[in-house]
Amino acid sequence: MARVTFDEDRCKGCELCVSVCPKHVVHMTKDRINKKGYHPATVDEMDKCIGCAFCAMMCPDVVIEVEK
């Protein structure tokens, strides 16, 4: 069991978290924009997350929290 939480309004849509997820579950939203005007990153299939925290380590803007 693992869970990632995105502080969406901090996200700058750089997609670096997407590029490092070994399970390919991080993706950019297409249906909403945040306060800064970016499509924020998110995870839909949370059951596939293994809590490795790669996305959080790669994120330059400390958007992501990981629980395991």
**Binding footprint of ligand SF4 on the chain (CB under 6 A):** 6, 11-17, 41, 58-59, 61, 63-64
DSSP assignment, residue 59? Answer: -
What CA dihedral angle connects 24, 1, 61 and 63, to 10 degrees? Answer: 110
Candidates 13-21, 24-32, 42-50; binding stretch for another protein (CB under 8 A): 13-21
Return the closest-CA partner of residue 55 out of 9, 1, 35, 14.
Answer: 14
39 binds, among ligand SF4, another protein, none (CB under 5 to 8 A by kind): none
The least distance separating another protein from the CB of residue 48, rounded to whole angstroms, comes to 16
